[in-house]
Amino acid sequence: MEIKDLEPQKVFQFFDEILKIPRPSKKEEKIVQYLIDFAKKRGLEYQVDEVGNVVIRKPATAGMEDRKPVVLQAHVDMVTEKDTSVEHDFEKDPIQAYVDGEWIRSRGTTLGADDGIGVATILAILDSDDIVHPPLEGLFTVDEETGLTGAFALKEGFFNGKILINLDSEDWGEIFIGSAGGMDTVAEFDYEPQDPPAGIAYKIIIDDLHGGHSGDEIDKGYANAIKLLDRFLIKLLYEMPYYLAHFHGGKLRNAIPRDAYAIIIIEPKYENILQEMHLKYLTIFKDEYGKVEPNMRFEIERTVRPERIINDEVAIKLLWALYGCPHGVYAWSKDIEGLVETSTNLATVRTEENKIVVGTSQRSSKESAKDDIATMVKSVFILAGAEVSHSDGYPGWTPNLNSEILNITVDAFKRLFGKEPVVRAIHAGLECGLFLDKYPYLDMISIGPTIKGAHTPEERLHIPSTQEFWQLLLDVLKNIPRDE
């Protein structure tokens, strides 16, 4: 079956169109233009701000004019991850998506259901002539995935709604009422490139790990490719000398790194030791992570000798700093059982012409704990002689258990599906905390269909949960209370 033929048909027709539009973070011009054209074609009022956020307004249906205005919100950008074997240009090529039983998947790339399905759902409602709803605004933000740029740039008065429903959650049956705040910590090592010594160059590769969302999946125990590669390189130092020419790992600040590689130069007499160590740690890594990383690839191969290497002093400091850098869950919530309170993600390493840049990100539902874990990460790299900087970060979203829209949604869920939804906070960062900074009166929830493997090429959208999500949203919209 084709995606566009799935039910609810309008939702999947728009989702199918969105899959064909390139929309990497910070390069959303094509999807923004698509939204503008959508509004113009239907005679709907719209507005675009200086960073590219779009709001499209639709009057209430007959008899709903006196209800509280509602904002339906989703972000238009997508994470651009792909398998190393796949040729795909995210700035030009459409996503190759297909139906696989109850799921929509893509061929070797991220699908972009995060948050393309939210965008498609809003468009389906704005396009409708038979859905009962209050005054509506569709709010489409840019660059959520790499910096929350759109949410940061929102100005007061860009939208008028009193209730905001964020459509960027990934666990059907759960209603989110809070999220973690976050910030980035970046370390830079300056180095003097040196001529390589005589010897043989080897490339050490770890890839095909699960990866995943650095907030929502940080507690799953998935391996970090940078940490594994660095562990091997540190242990190798105990057995033989080598020269480090390159270290590269991870792609995105908000994804657990699923691949990494290093290039080293060794003397020929040490080849046997390198091969023995490789086999030893291949066994160790599979023993430790085999159940959660069944597709792990850990290989060594000869490669072309690099033209330059990293000087020894910096190389050693880098490797030990990466070893000491914390990664994963740091603290669990004392208030909400099963919720990660504080975590940190060792996300990226880049070797450039004369510097090495290490990217990390920290999250917490407590601002003080977020600052503490970021300072902990900073301390490791400061001691190693790196220059360290923090981003401004973004605030968390404090749960409101007395929320009116929460109660409406819970009642609708029970009535439609005969069971209680789960009401909880999420460790991932949502834009809602930033909306509250400028619109403190907003009453908010976040809902969405089930998406698995977000931020990885394993990303997939569950079709039946999308259908139920649609039912719930329409029921909620027709039960919005009067605006008093």
Cβ neighbour number for residue 468 with a 10 Å cutoff: 17
Class of residue 130 by CB neighbours under 10 A (exposed 0-12, middle 13-18, buried 19+)? exposed
Phi first, then psi: give them for residue 434, nearest 5 degrees: -70, -35
Q: Which two tokens stand for residue 333?
A: 């919530």
Alpha-helical (H) ranges within 305-366 are 312-324
144 is catalytic: yes
Catalytic residue among 115, 137, 144, 458: 144
Angle between helices 29-42 and 113-127 (to 10 degrees): 10
Residue in the structure block whose two tokens are 């700093």: 321
In angstroms, the CA 385 to CA 131 distance is 60
Catalytic residue among 28, 77, 81, 115: 77
Class of residue 121 by CB neighbours under 10 A (exposed 0-12, middle 13-18, buried 19+)? buried
Q: List, as own/partner pairs, every contact residues 273-282 make where C-beta atoms lie below 8 angstroms and the sequence separation is at least 24, other chains included.
A: 273/239, 273/240, 274/202, 274/236, 274/240, 274/300, 275/300, 277/232, 277/235, 277/236, 277/239, 278/204, 278/232, 281/231, 281/232, 281/235
**Catalytic machinery residues:** 77, 144
